Amino acid sequence: MRLGQEPATGTLKSAHAPTCPVPELPEVETIRRGLERELVGRRVEAAEACGGPLRSPSPLPLGRLAGRRFAAARRHAKFLLLDLDRGVLVVHLGMTGKLLFAAQGGPRRAHTHLVLRLDDGRELRYVDPRRFGMLRLYRDARDVEEARHYGIDALDPALDDAVLGALLQRSRAPLKAFLLDQTKVAGLGNIYACEALWRAGLSPRRLARNTPASRVPALRGAIVGVLHDSLAQGGTSFNDYVDHIGQPGRFLLDLAVFQRDGGACRRCDADVRRIVQSGRSTFFCPGCQR
């Protein structure tokens, strides 16, 4: 596939207009792994900030990336933290952000906001039609503000049954809202919250603190399991998400409930339903999620 080419992706049938999900942990981690292979060690020969403003300004001008070398690619929740020999670049993809490698000097897509010319003859470009993403350059990793108020990462080994159980007991929110609260468990969004609850057989309307201790291991296993299963297929693509070389994620067809309202549950054959919780669509099976 040509560098930067974005293939068409499938959509699910639904009685409601499909949403445009924000890239979640598996999608961001897929990109991180690609950047770790392709970007770490590369030096930025030139940096050009272009396009309209994103959702928040960078503490340091992005043009200062010129002359710096990428040292590591990390992730916390949905944030990419690209360590440099001097400073760190924090990236959030928003709804439609993409980091893509391209041939140097090749045609640029509309809505390109940053072009980094690398020392291997390629360019790394940030493209974001809706401009909800974020690019912020900090002088020191200790200055990074974005992840300070986030909870434990959903794939952190320290998130064991005891930790998750304690977090659940302190929450007055429904389970779905609890899973979306980034100050509790960071990295889950609408797709994987719905899928994890289906795997665990738990209703999204159940209060988090009313989750029996005996069900906590199943919930934690469902969270970790669905994230790893999606990672193995490069994430989930609906309309916008692609990895660093323009490849879509392939987990779409493995989704059990997300945007499958009106279809039969794969476990009990009841109809999958859609409800709205806190302004967000929730997809679940009322037949087997209790």
Residues with catalytic function: 23-24, 78, 280
DSSP-based three-state secondary structure for 88: strand
Report the Cα 107 to chain-centroid distance in Å.
27
CA angle 258, 218, 23 (to 5 degrees): 35
Place of tokens 């928003």: 94
Place of tokens 């945007």: 259
**Beta carbons within 10 angstroms of residue 226's beta carbon:** 27
CA distance linking residue 74 with residue 68, whole number of Å: 17
CA distance linking residue 280 with residue 7, whole number of Å: 28
